[in-house]
A = this chain, B = another copy of it.
């Protein structure tokens, strides 16, 4: 009836954004039950069908999940491996074991021309560079170098990175930004010296090199990530070392 469209955005889009905001602000925690569709409809002064459309979209985006007869809930925050193919050793049917993150550090730097173009930044724009190490059952399995536009994430706090489960979770919790993979590429390479040292592996040892561009739900590119992964074969040879 009322709630006259503020910006020519569909009502369900406005509702989605308000719900996303509340999730980002932790007004609703993970796995917390949302008000019913009818309650939300009354809060937002729209029909239940419109709320339903908004919730369905958010479920498809992985922000919420539903259980028939019980209600609608807030999904777990994304971790940095969300939507990524398995690279862990072992059978295909196994879920990858919970990965443990080690925060190596954050620096300020400047984007290369190519990276600036990819992220839609000015030439030489300032960026955050974050390094993470991933362990599985104690063994080092991957090294990440993450690049974020500094302008957008100026307030980024080192303590958040140390405490959180990953960069994506930090961006969601503190900036209300939910990322998804926009483009990615795999290569087989020999490990460069610096990365080999950090991974405690031999220089030139074959590894997976994973490049990934991530965007927010509006399609704005926001994160560039390079990941060096030790795969099953490597895992074997590494066991012999220890």
Contact = CB atoms under 8 A, between A and B. Distances in A.
Contact of A185 (B86, B114, B213, B234): B86
B189 A87 contact: no
A59 B187 CA distance: 32
Contact of A190 (B93, B187, B206, B213): B206
Nearest to A117: B93
B188 A206 contact: yes
A206 to B, nearest CB: 4
A5 interface: no
Contacts of A86: 183-186
A207 B185 contact: no
A183 B189 CA distance: 23
Interface of A: 60, 85-88, 91-93, 114, 118, 183-190, 206-208, 211, 213, 229, 231-234
20 contacts: A60-B60, A85-B85, A85-B186, A86-B184, A86-B186, A91-B114, A92-B118, A92-B183, A92-B184, A92-B211, A92-B213, A186-B229, A186-B231, A187-B231, A188-B188, A188-B189, A188-B233, A188-B234, A189-B231, A189-B233
